[in-house]
A and B are shown apart, each in its own frame.
Chain A
């Protein structure tokens, strides 16, 4: 027994509440709710490290319900006890353990409270105590309730029905996991027996209200309360609602009660980790009557409906405000975008599509879980507001056509298409269907690029004379295979894949050039490995651009851009913007000024690299507000014009007009 984090200054007795079973499914929510109401909490747990990981600002006392000394130690100095700890396993061999923890443990707890004058005890019991046929859990909880009722304490017993809510624990979480993995969903017997599940937050709120004991001036002491949700429904209806809200189209099949009971009995001989316990089974087929009136009257208990609760369980937020996104193409970029979307609040990935069914397993193993389709039509039949199109550019236009026809907003991974003709088609599709569309050029979202734009727009450099840019990465040092090296599918080589990022930066900062001259080099691939490009702007402003994916010493794509104006130069790289000015302008002094990435504001999320979270966040906001994005399909189309012009210039061996 270890006493941890016990403050030297004893917490005033009237403030400290002991919670047993604090790391359990209900316990975690109860502790968080109490902490949220400003209560001081002591957790009585077996695993201190796990508790430390779960909560900050709680006092932790380790021990267990079979150890008298540890219970006495836990109770010392508290003003009230909320008792949730219980042994729930239904293995025959663990009946003794159930008795020891649930009943004898309760005796020890009551004795400790009585001996230390801790009067207030609130215990979470179960509806299973009211059933005719009981498993170990129901039986021992009933005996424990009797122990409490015979005590001299100011006790209150709450008996919730099936408690559900978000998280990995509890029967409901198991049902949801089964719904995701099984091809059909089994229902025990006819499934017509009624139940009234209660949302975990409602149970926690009830416990806090009972502890406060002053709602409506009614006394909750020496009373037993039923706690249930607002909706009474059959088990079959519950499953149908759950599957509907999870967007799982599964058939529900009946399995006879005896078969389930037999299966559970056999399995319980070998494992205690059953998807459903015998007590769960008994609970599912024996209806109990609940009376919520006393709870309503005495502490204003107002549970939510099942639909409300299940939506919060599955979606985490009000589903009406959730942007439902599908991912088309589960390669590297599809997965990066899926990860970012998983972390953005108010977004839910509702469908996945890839022509290659074999990626499903590894995608799921990354934690990206949504119904998976190899048919685009089936995918588009899912509830969707927006899609991420992360496929080889050759396939973007046909996919965009279908998605736009469904009124879906689109985030299209760059480059927009494999040719200008296809890019033009996509732009036309987007305009015709009037849908929000973004293209995945993330550099303009980066803080340094935005800073450079701000400086240029303020006229700090004066008239621009010339610029030099480079985009280098060590990627192709020998002949390579794959769609990226096929011009028809990828739309090009290093210019389309990496150079387009630099072109997007130049377009964002300086606008569209008038003419382009491109020279391409093919040392390793059928597509260009290196390119040397000249961009010509009005008033004879010329810029040169070098692109290569065959440069040594570049672990990742590295862009550089130096812009020279009448008043000096602006140098933009991955880490800094450096100004070198001839005269002071707009607050920037003469000589060198370096603005580091570290000096600029950071977006509150970064996954996969800087800019990805920013661009997707902007896209989701645009979907919500039907607004515009920084890099839309118009910008994507113009960058495609620059790419195509480079290829045409090389083919025609002359400068081409844009």
Chain B
């Protein structure tokens, strides 16, 4: 089992890099990405799209306005790359179909993240969990079908039990999952025991994240239950 670090701010990323961390879990935050893209020995797992920022921007500019701002911030090359998926789902974008818009926003962030050494892209837990709750199989399916080169697509959830149940019901094949894992059981839903059973079955590669005090003990626990990788939140 390897260990990575989950950072939200550039300052945290810098500190973690200085202390020897080389595997980062990030959102597509401009400053963080700018710093990490300058480091050749760093690899990334990203949480996309940056849901809380979109919610804030959506509140202010509306859905289409927010999307247009995002598109404008891309360079011409990335805009051309975006053209194909946009044309393919043109009418659905106009109709504000979230099953198309969410994967599209994730793809936009992928274009931004390409400059870094991106290994995995996890769909943000706000969106994954909302889709799981409302039975929105198509949204997750569309996300998992994104055309990304050399990047694994996974789901981030705060409800691992619900995810396991729904994916089972839907027959949806997801190989990479990120969820909270802590020795104390915090965030392991519905129960710590249920989550342990799920990962021990080994159907998928499970990645964990969480704030911890005693890294050594947590690492031992993560190893014991069979986590693939574990991100310590800063």
B-binding residues in A (CB < 8 A): 23, 49-56, 167-168, 332, 335-336, 338-340, 342-343, 358-359, 361-362, 365-368, 475, 480-482, 484, 553, 555-556, 575, 596-600, 602-608
Contact = CB atoms under 8 A, between A and B. Distances in A.
A605 B162 contact: yes
Nearest to B62: A482
Interface stretch (B66-74, B106-114, B148-156, B187-195): B187-195
B186 A597 contact: yes
Given A366-B136, A368-B134, A604-B190, A361 B211 contact: no
B162 A366 contact: no
B213 A339 contact: no
Contacts of A359: 96
Contacts of A607: 126, 129-130, 133, 158-159
Interface string B195-226: 00000010100000011110000000000000
Given A53-B203, A596-B211, A602-B186, A332 B58 contact: yes
Given A343-B132, A365-B98, A555-B52, A55 B168 contact: yes
Contacts of A555: 8, 52-53
Nearest to B127: A366
Contact of A605 (B172, B185, B189, B210): B189
28 contacts: A49-B173, A53-B168, A332-B59, A339-B134, A343-B133, A361-B95, A361-B96, A362-B95, A362-B101, A365-B97, A365-B139, A367-B134, A367-B135, A484-B59, A555-B53, A556-B52, A596-B213, A598-B182, A598-B186, A598-B212, A602-B187, A602-B188, A602-B189, A605-B190, A606-B129, A606-B158, A606-B187, A607-B133
Interface string B115-138: 000000000001001111111110
B134 A54 contact: no
Given A52-B203, A53-B203, A339 B133 contact: yes
B1 interface: no
A598 B208 CA distance: 14
A367 B131 contact: yes
A598 B130 CA distance: 23
A606 B159 contact: yes
Interface string B77-97: 000000000000000000111
B98 A362 contact: yes
A608 B130 contact: yes
A481 B186 contact: no
Contacts of B159: 343, 605-607
A338 B134 contact: yes
Interface centre among A56, A332, A484, A607 (most CB of B within 10 A): A607
Interface residues of B, number: 55
Contacts of A167: 169
**Across chains A and B, which 8 residue pairs bring their CB atoms closest together, nearest first?**
A367-B134, A367-B136, A343-B133, A598-B186, A362-B96, A604-B190, A365-B97, A50-B171
B182 to A, nearest CB: 5
A105 B133 CA distance: 40
Interface centre among A53, A596, A600, A605 (most CB of B within 10 A): A53
A54 B211 contact: no
A337 B169 CA distance: 24
A50 B173 contact: yes
Contacts of A575: 211
A556 B99 CA distance: 25
Contacts of A49: 173
B146 interface: no
A608 B134 CA distance: 13
A595 to B, nearest CB: 11
B167 A342 contact: no
B19 interface: no
A359 B95 CA distance: 9
Nearest to B95: A361
Contacts of B211: 575, 596, 598
B60 interface: yes
A362 B167 CA distance: 23
B7 to A, nearest CB: 12
Nearest to A47: B171
B58 to A, nearest CB: 7
Given A602-B187, A602-B188, A604-B189, A342 B133 contact: yes
Contact of A365 (B96, B173, B201): B96
Contacts of A608: 126, 129-130
A168 to B, nearest CB: 8
Nearest to B130: A339
A366 B132 CA distance: 10
Contacts of A365: 95-100, 136, 139
A56 B201 contact: yes
Nearest to A606: B158
Nearest to A167: B169
Contacts of B170: 53, 168
B88 to A, nearest CB: 16
A342 B191 CA distance: 20
B60 A481 contact: yes
A480 B135 CA distance: 35
Contacts of B60: 480-482
Nearest to A603: B189
B183 to A, nearest CB: 9
